[in-house]
Structure 1
Amino acid sequence: MRSVRARTALGATVVVAVALIGAGLAVLLVLRANLTDQAGLQAEVAAREVAGQLALDVPVHQLDLPDAEEHPVQVTDEDGRLVAVSEDLVAITGTGTDRVEPQASAVPTSTGTGTDDDGGGDRHGGEDRGDDDANVSIPARGEVSADDPDFTNGTATVDGDTADYRFASVSATTGAGVTLTVHAGAPLATEQKAVGSVRRAMLIGLPVMLLIVAAVTWLMTRRALRPVEGIRAEMSAITASEDLSRRVPEPGSRDEIARLARTTNETLTALEASVDRQRRFVADASHELRSPIASLRTQLEVGAAHPELLDVPGAVTDTVRLQALAADLLLLARLDAGERPGSTRLDMGALVHEEVSQRTGDRIPVTASVPPSEPLEVTGSRSQLARILGNLLDNAERHAESSVAVSVRTERGSVVVAVSDDGPGVPEPERERIFERFVRLDDARSRDEGGAGLGLAIARDVARRHQGTLTVTRSPEGGARFELRLPARPDPGR
């Protein structure tokens, strides 16, 4: 199942199905428990009514028992013998005994002092009570157990009809001290009918609800993913046409899909800019390489035809320029590929002294100012940081009139290397543009002075790779002041 809509609809349906089945089972269990408890309460009431008669010493054969179909009743003695049973009760299960015929039992039928068999006197043996209350015998009274009854489930057959019942067992003690147990039942037909109705409704309604959930989820997912399909189709068209100026449609909502569309367009914009940069880079590199190669070829052809006219110094100069340009292009390619700088511990003061000491043939001597005892350590690639410093000094030498100065200092957790000159400086609107590749200002376009417009671009790229910055301002002498800021290496001794 490869469709997101199908997987979403199926997942939502399964979740809803599990939730509905769980809720339905819980409802059925609670309903059944409540109705069963209600039936048990009815059975307990019927059992206590019969037990109350026994406590009042009503003879077992004179008990007023409820209708067997509504409340089947059994009365058993302490030995488990059946002493009374509801009329028309044919069979019973789930009580103390399954008998339906009373058995002989030594259960007193009265607790009085005597009975008048002919009915001519009162039941206590005297026709004339007399005036002495001490001669009157008060019959003893029994009691009904106050304990919670025992509940069981069983069946009862009345007039040939068998049904399920909830039975309650209540104990009663007669006035003679005989304990009898009353088993009374209440029908579970209401509980079974209600539970069956709810079960049938759930079995019918559950598939219908699941179909509705699946259909609604499918339609909603389809509607929600419609912008994604538009994005996919547009991206496919962009890939096929290779036209990076096109953009995917952005929905008006502010949800995740709208953010995805915006991010995709931002990615396309960055990709378009990167491709344009690459194309310009290739075109500019080809143009810059064409000039020294053409000059070198011309000189070699002239030298081959007329050896006396061969300009060896010029050929060497063009070869050096070609070699430097190739090295710059290779470094830029490595930087664009994401090459990480090294993690060597470097002293920028020592590096500045080393670079300045090697520039013996410069047109203008370089003045270096390095604090003797201040910690100036950074972490990075020695060759790449030396390349930054060399490019900045070369740029200052080309534009300075009489002085070039380099200084190193620490400032708020950074090591700052500043290269200043007294040349014409950089106009403020052009201070960011000079860091673009193959960009040279109008007064610096002479190729004879060297430089293809890559030195400052390489310097800034390398600075960024070292988590630093490279900026240009106006120097106190009126020329340009380039400042390289690098994170200072923490001093472990502090």
Structure 2
Amino acid sequence: MRMWVPVWLRERWGVRVAAAAAAAAVVAVALVLAGIALVLLQERSVRSSVEDQARAQALNAVARLDDGESPEETVTEIATGFVLLQVLDADGTVLAASPQLSTTEPVDGGATAADPDSTVTASVGDDPLLVVREPAAGSLAVLAAGSLAAAERSTETVTQLAVVGVPLLALVAGAATYLFAGLALRPVEAIRSRVAAITGQDLARRVPEPVARDEVGRLARTMNDMLARLDAAQVAQRRFVGDASHELRSPLATITARLELAGRRGPTAGDVAAMVPEAHRMARLIEDLLLLARADERGLAPRRDDVDLDELADDEAARLRATGALTVRAATVPVRVTGDRAQLARVLRNLVDNAARHASSQVTIRLRSDGTEAVLEVADDGPGIPPTDRTRVFDRFVRLDEGRARDAGGVGLGLAIVAEVLAAHGGSVEARAADGGGALMRVRLPRQPVDGVVVPSEALPPTASRS
């Protein structure tokens, strides 16, 4: 049973004391209510027993009187110390009575005359009596009075036991709750002490997990899962900082060396030609790092504009054709999505640049509709991506062995940015093997319904463009 404990009590006394006090209070209230109910039931039971005995003796006396026995003989033969008798005539005059009862006044004071089935309470000295009436032949009536002293004594005994037992049992319940709460909280204390000992440099440690699969066990497993996530995040952060520092060091070193040479012999056109690409490279890297930092801190929060994805795909195809280095094949259909045009354009640019960087001679861009989704595919005819690396390529600063040369361009953030932007737009990206070899990046985005004929993704122009 869950016990409600006030907040101020938990704050002042702690969980163990608060739980013990609450348990003692609950037990005390329950025992008091049970004691009251027991006293009432016990008193009712004893009173019913006294009434039954008194009525039985009265009926016995009525039977004797009906058989012609005199009132005096009947009272003498039947009356006992527990049940006392009076025999009355039709006028209520006492004809015979037990020695303890008055011989002039009915013990019930005439209260039962109108209703013989009723009972009244009277007293003789200090002895309380329960009086019943039974009619007899010849307009006679028998009053039988049963003693309630035993009932009162038993009620007093039960009450005294309750007064002594309730505090004692409440104290025992509180002490037991305090003890068992301490035992139950021992694993929690072990978890707390272990977590307190874990520093930022030692996130590989874990808290002890109890065998029981209860709330404490789930807490320990949740804590270990959190520590694992923090450890992975810290490792990723360190790797991120290290990789970013490494990537920034190279252009900075080139610019610094050129500036030192220019300072000694004067700047030349070659110095400018060498520093400008490095400065652009560093600017792109810083821009990418800022975008990823925003994504980690509060998400990218893209705008909700109408974006024609086919226009972005056609623009990227035209841009790549303008370089004249590769054959570009494109097949697109009108597809409109909701999102941030600049961010989605960056996704297209990163995917196309990545394909161009690894392609041998050809890049293929396809855009089609698939139910409620827009499917964009960018493929190249390069060496492709091994199956074991097709998920890892979307991590930050990940470059496969063949793409690690500086001349290949890129620092391993392009596909990571693609994944972050698409996730913010409710989409996804996956790496697959292209049909003719090479790598294929498949993007899925929720699309808006548009009118028009859907061109199959296999439909490509009959001739390829090269410029």
In structure 1, what residue type is equivalent to 2:293? A
| Structure 1: gaps of 5 or more residues | 99-143
Q: Does 1:284 align with 2:243?
A: yes
Equivalent residues in 2 for 1:251-290 (5 A)?
251-290=210-249
Residues 82 and 451 from structure 1, CA distance in 2 versus in 1: closer, same or farther, beyond 3 angstroms? same
Q: Structure 2 CA distance, aligned partners of 1:334 and 1:476?
A: 36
Aligned residue in 2 for 1:411: 370
Q: Does 1:329 align with 2:329?
A: no
Question: Contact 1:74–1:84 at 8 Å: present in 2 too?
Answer: yes
Question: Contact 2:83–2:147 at 8 Å: present in 1 too?
Answer: yes
User: Which of 288-297 and 80-89 deviates more?
Assistant: 80-89
CA RMSD after TM alignment:
3.1
In structure 2, what residue type is equivalent to 1:466? H
Equivalent residues in 2 for 1:479-494 (5 A)?
479-489=438-448
Q: Does 1:20 align with 2:31?
A: yes
Instruction: Say which SS state the counterpart of residue 73 (structure 1) adopts.
Output: strand
Q: Does 1:206 align with 2:174?
A: no
State the Cα deviation string for residues 150-199 of structure 1 (Å, max 9, x = none): 11222123xxxx2111111233452xxx4x54332101122223333333
State the Cα deviation string for residues 350-379 of structure 1 (Å, max 9, x = none): 43234434556433353321135xxx4444
Residues 185 and 432 from structure 1, CA distance in 2 versus in 1: closer, same or farther, beyond 3 angstroms? same
Match for residue 148 of structure 2 among 173, 182, 188: 188
Question: Contact 2:92–2:106 at 8 Å: present in 1 too?
Answer: no
State the Cα deviation string for residues 44-100 of structure 1 (Å, max 9, x = none): 1233334445556766677535437432334556665555543342598972259xx
Q: Structure 2 CA distance, aligned partners of 1:345 and 1:153?
A: 94
Q: Does 1:47 align with 2:58?
A: yes
Question: Contact 1:392–1:482 at 8 Å: present in 2 too?
Answer: yes
Question: Contact 2:433–2:439 at 8 Å: present in 1 too?
Answer: yes
Instruction: Say which SS state the counterpart of residue 64 (structure 1) adopts.
Output: helix
Match for residue 122 of structure 2 among 150, 154, 158: 154
Aligned residue in 1 for 2:132: 168
Aligned residue in 2 for 1:369: 331
Max radius of gyration: which structure?
Answer: 1
Residues 382 and 45 from structure 1, CA distance in 2 versus in 1: closer, same or farther, beyond 3 angstroms? same
Q: Structure 1 CA distance, aligned partners of 2:100 and 2:403?
A: 124
Deviation of 1:303 after TM superposition, in Å, equals 3.6
State the Cα deviation string for residues 208-242 of structure 1 (Å, max 9, x = none): 33333222222221111111101100111114x64
Aligned residue in 1 for 2:420: 461
Equivalent residues in 2 for 1:43-442 (5 A)?
43-52=54-63, 64=75, 66-67=78-79, 69-75=81-87, 82=94, 84-89=96-101, 95-97=108-110, 149-157=117-125, 162-172=126-136, 174=138, 178=139, 180-239=140-199, 242-304=201-263, 305-339=265-299, 340-359=301-320, 361-362=322-323, 363-364=325-326, 366-372=328-334, 376-411=335-370, 413-442=372-401
Question: Contact 1:303–1:310 at 8 Å: present in 2 too?
Answer: no
User: Which of 200-209 and 83-92 deviates more?
Assistant: 83-92
Instruction: Say which SS state the counterpart of residue 205 (structure 2) adopts.
Output: coil
User: Which of 270-279 and 50-59 deviates more?
Assistant: 50-59
State the Cα deviation string for residues 266-309 of structure 1 (Å, max 9, x = none): 11111011011111111111111122222223334434541335
User: Which of 408-417 and 258-267 deviates more?
Assistant: 408-417
Residues 94 and 392 from structure 1, CA distance in 2 versus in 1: closer, same or farther, beyond 3 angstroms? farther
Question: Contact 1:292–1:321 at 8 Å: present in 2 too?
Answer: yes
Instruction: Say which SS state the counterpart of residue 122 (structure 2) adopts.
Output: strand
What is the aligned residue count?
A: 434
| TM-score with structure 2 setting the length | 0.83
State the Cα deviation string for residues 378-403 of structure 1 (Å, max 9, x = none): 44333322222111001111111221
Deviation of 1:442 after TM superposition, in Å, equals 2.6
In structure 1, what residue type is equivalent to 2:109? G
Q: Structure 2 CA distance, aligned partners of 1:49 and 1:369?
A: 115
Structure with a larger share of its residues in helix: 2
Instruction: Say which SS state the counterpart of residue 190 (structure 1) adopts.
Output: helix
Q: Structure 1 CA distance, aligned partners of 2:152 and 2:63?
A: 30
Identity of aligned residues (%): 39
Q: Structure 1 CA distance, aligned partners of 2:107 and 2:449?
A: 88
Residues 64 and 488 from structure 1, CA distance in 2 versus in 1: closer, same or farther, beyond 3 angstroms? same
Instruction: Say which SS state the counterpart of residue 423 (structure 1) adopts.
Output: coil
Residues 483 and 61 from structure 1, CA distance in 2 versus in 1: closer, same or farther, beyond 3 angstroms? same
